[in-house]
Amino acid sequence: MQIWLSLFLFSTLTWANCDFQSKLKGIYSLSGPVTTGLSEIGLHRSSKLKGISSFYTGIDKNFQGDRIPGGSLLSPVTVRSLEPGIVFFDESQEMEKILRSFGKGLVLKKISTRNLTPVEVTQVVSKVLDSVTSDCGPKLREFQKSVESLQGEILLKIPEKFDVVFFLGSFEGASSPNLVMAQDGFVKWLKKDKRVKTYPTELAYVPWSAKILKGEMKGAYQIGLVDGPDPKCIKHDPKKYTCHFPRALTPGIDQLRALRFILDQI
């Protein structure tokens, strides 16, 4: 009994001590995958997290920082207003140029998740967070295990024969979203494991071809992905849906959660 109590107290203390390194004064996350990682290990509550991207949806009310206009909305004025600290940002030439030109005193950490599967994204994020935190190893390992567990759960839900095309955006009347997700995120993982038949291309995202959709992908499910606060799937016809889910387009565990939800709806 005493041994178990000691192990419990040690585990609790280790998890409770997870924090940003003491030498760090300010953290900004303009990267969706990094913000998710911080949330998963509980550091979204830290007073050292000064700001996250305004595009990030669904972070809980314990977040104390500011919302920063990121992406194409990031301006020199905004960058100049940031206190000296670390800024995580997703790979973007435009954003990097603005941050480097006007971010005096900022330490920039670029996150590249293009063409990575959810597990690979989680590994990248965990490595980055491990470099700026202390005593977060157990939480980061649990984060990675949760992604692997979620993938296993999804594989049990996928029909044996599943032909599907995922689009970026919603179906509007007779119009389809412009781009297909084909070699990125959870689609790349499913395709790599030969669990689905999907749009034939080696590119991550491509404009769709009517010839392909009416040819070798005829009869496939067509699902539009939308980053929305309220999980829901709108059925347009028996095999065409627009599905909303928080951070459905954020690489990593959030896309897997969106996929699990979608599989339960269609």
pLDDT of residue 220: 96
Residue recorded with tokens 């206009």: 69
- The per-type count for the chain, helices as H runs and strands as E runs, is 9, 13
Go through the domains of the chain in sequence order and give each one's CATH number: 2-153 (3.40.50.1980), 158-265 (no CATH)
Q: Indicate the pLDDT class of residue 11, thresholds 50, 70 and 90.
A: very low
Output the CA–CA distances (angstroms, integers) from residue 152 to 15, 55, 157, 191, in the order listed.
26, 29, 9, 15
**Residue 92: how many CB atoms within 10 A of its CB?**
17
Q: What share of the chain is helix, strand, coil (3-state, %, to 5)?
A: 40, 25, 35
Nearest to 127 by CA among 114, 112, 117, 115: 112
Output the CA–CA distances (angstroms, integers) from residue 225 to 37, 49, 190, 254, in the order listed.
21, 29, 16, 12
Pairing of strands 66-68, 49-53: parallel
Q: Give me the percent of the chain exceeding a pLDDT of 70.
A: 94
Task: For residue range 227-248, list pLDDT tens digits in order.
Answer: 988 899 999 999 999 999 999 9
Length reported for the chain? 266
The DSSP call for residue 83 is P
Q: What is this structure's pTM?
A: 0.88
Phi/psi at 170 (nearest 5 deg)? -105, 155
Task: For residue range 116-127, list pLDDT tens digits in order.
Answer: 999 999 999 999
